[in-house]
Amino acid sequence: MIQEARPESDEQRERGLRIRFLTWLQKVQFYAYTTLVLVLLALGFLWPRIFISVPAGSHAVMYRFFKGGTVTNRVWPEGLNVIPPWDTLTIYETRLQEKTLEFDVLSEEGLDLGVKVSIRYRPNKEMLGFLHQDIGTEYFNRLIKPEVESHVRRTFGSRPAHEIYSSKRDVLQELGQIPVLGRLEEDGAALSSRPYVVIQELKLVDIDLPVIVEQAIADKYKQEQLMLEYRYKLEREENEAERKRTEAAGIRDYNLIVAKVNPDLLRWRSIDATLELAKSENSKVVVLGGGQGAQMLLNVDAAMGGAHAGAAAAAHDEKPKAEPPAPAPPPAAAPAPPPEPVKP
C-alpha cells in the first residue's frame, strides 16, 4: 500500500534551517578558533625573530636569507627593529670594552716572565658588517688576543729582563704601538686596509720577574745607594776640611793683628774693665794701673757694708802712735806681658 508524502509545514522547515545554520556556525567557530590559536602560536614563536630590540651602546648586523646574506653597507641602530622572521639580526656591543690577559713571555736571556696586560677596545662601527662576515662574534679570541700576545712577546723578547724592569716607560710606549689586522680593499690601483676593531689602549699591569732577577736588581740598587752615600761622605769631609782651613786662616790673621796692637790701647781697655768690675757690690778683684803694669788688690771687705769701709778709711788716714810700724807695702807687680798669640 503506497502512502503519499505529506508536505512539510512551515514550522518544520524553519526548524531545519535553524539546525543547518547552527551546524554551519559550529564548524565556522571551530575553524576560526583553530586558526586563531595557530596564529597566536606562530606569533608567539616568531615574535623574537620579528621584533628585535637593540640595547643601548650596541648595533646590529642583518643577515638576509633570500637577499644575498650579510648586509655590509648598513648597521641597524638602537631601539626596536621589525624584520622578516626568516632574516637574522646579530647584535654587537660597540661601547668601549676592557679585558685583562695573563700569559708568559721569554726575555732576551730566555727567562720566563709573567705578564699581565689590560686591553681597551671597541669594534669599528663602519666595519661591523665585514667583521661579522669575516670573523664573527668571537672576534676577541680570534683577532685581538693572538695579536696582543704576539706583540707583547715580540716587545719583551728583544730586551733583557733588567732593561724591561728599568726602562718601563719605553716598554709602555712600544706596547702602545700595536698593529691591528684590518680588511684589505682595493682602492684603484693601490690596496688600503681598514681595521675591524680599534684598540684604544694597551696597558702593562704587572710583570712577574724571576727571583734571581729581582735579587740582582735589588743588589744593584743597593750598591748604587752605597756609592751615593760614600760620595756624600767625601763631600762632607771636603767641606769640613775647607771650614778648618778657613778657621786656621782666621786665627793666623788674628795673631798677626794682636801682635801689632798699641800698648796704650791695651792700657785703656784694662781701665775700662777695671771700672766695670769696681761697680759690683760683691767681693771683687780691683786692678789698678801703675806704669806699664797693673797692681792687683783683693777687696774682701766690700760685702761688710759702708761703715766698715769708712772705719777702715779713717784708720788709714790717722798716723800710728803707739802701734808698731806697719809692714812695708808689697812690691809693685811686674809689668804685665803683652797677650800671648793664640795658636791655631
> Hey, what amino acid is at 111?
L
pLDDT value of position 78: 92
Instruction: Categorize the per-residue pLDDT at 208 as very low, low, confident or very high, splitting at 50, 70 and 90.
Output: confident
pLDDT value of position 312: 43
Average pLDDT over residues 152-177: 72
pLDDT value of position 103: 86
Asked if the model's pLDDT at residue 152 lies above 90, the reply is: no
- Cβ contacts of residue 166 below 8 Å, gap of 6+? 217
Question: Which grid cell sits at 271?
Answer: 781701665
Q: How far apart are CA 286 and CA 70, in angstroms?
A: 122
Q: How far apart are CA 101 and CA 144, in angstroms?
A: 11
pLDDT value of position 28: 86
Asked if the model's pLDDT at residue 193 lies above 90, the reply is: no
pTM of the model: 0.53
What are the DSSP calls for 175-188, one per residue? HH-----EEEEEET
Q: Is the dihedral of CA 240, 245, 249, 252 positive or negative?
A: positive
Asked if the model's pLDDT at residue 91 lies above 90, the reply is: yes
- Greater confidence (341 vs 284) lies with 284
Instruction: Categorize the per-residue pLDDT at 325 as very low, low, confident or very high, splitting at 50, 70 and 90.
Output: very low
pLDDT value of position 241: 92
pLDDT value of position 183: 80
Place of cell 514550522: 11
pLDDT value of position 253: 84
Place of cell 802712735: 321
- pLDDT tens digits, 19-69: 888 888 888 888 888 888 888 888 788 888 888 899 999 999 999 988 888
Q: For residues 180 and 147, is the Cβ–Cβ distance under 8 A?
A: yes
Q: How far apart are CA 175 and CA 152, in angstroms?
A: 7
DSSP 76: B
Nearest to 309 by CA among 276, 281, 275, 277: 281
pLDDT value of position 337: 47
Q: Which of 68-82, 95-109, 207-221, 283-297 shows the lowest mean pLDDT across its residues?
A: 283-297
Average pLDDT over residues 162-179: 68
Place of cell 503519499: 4
How many other β-carbons are positioned within 10 Å of the β-carbon of residue 119?
Answer: 20
Q: How far apart are CA 230 and CA 234, in angstroms?
A: 6
Average pLDDT over residues 137-158: 87
Q: CA neighbours within 13 Å on the CB side: how many for 329?
A: 6
Average pLDDT over residues 73-79: 91
pLDDT value of position 289: 52
pLDDT value of position 189: 67
Instruction: Give me the count of residues in the chain.
Output: 344
Place of cell 696582543: 148
Asked if the model's pLDDT at residue 196 lies above 60, the reply is: yes
pLDDT value of position 100: 92
Average pLDDT over residues 305-318: 44
Question: What average pLDDT is seen over the chain?
Answer: 76
Question: Which grid cell sits at 280?
Answer: 759690683
Q: For residues 195 and 128, is the Cβ–Cβ distance under 8 A?
A: no
Question: Which grid cell sits at 24?
Answer: 554551519
- Greater confidence (203 vs 300) lies with 203
How many other β-carbons are positioned within 10 Å of the β-carbon of residue 131?
Answer: 23
pLDDT value of position 316: 43
Instruction: Categorize the per-residue pLDDT at 169 as very low, low, confident or very high, splitting at 50, 70 and 90.
Output: low
Asked if the model's pLDDT at residue 149 lies above 50, the reply is: yes
Q: For residues 274 and 286, is the Cβ–Cβ distance under 8 A?
A: yes
- pLDDT tens digits, 246-305: 999 988 888 887 777 667 767 777 777 777 777 777 655 555 555 555 444 445 444 444
> Which pairs from 19-26 meet CB under 8 Å and 24+ separation?
none
Asked if the model's pLDDT at residue 314 lies above 60, the reply is: no
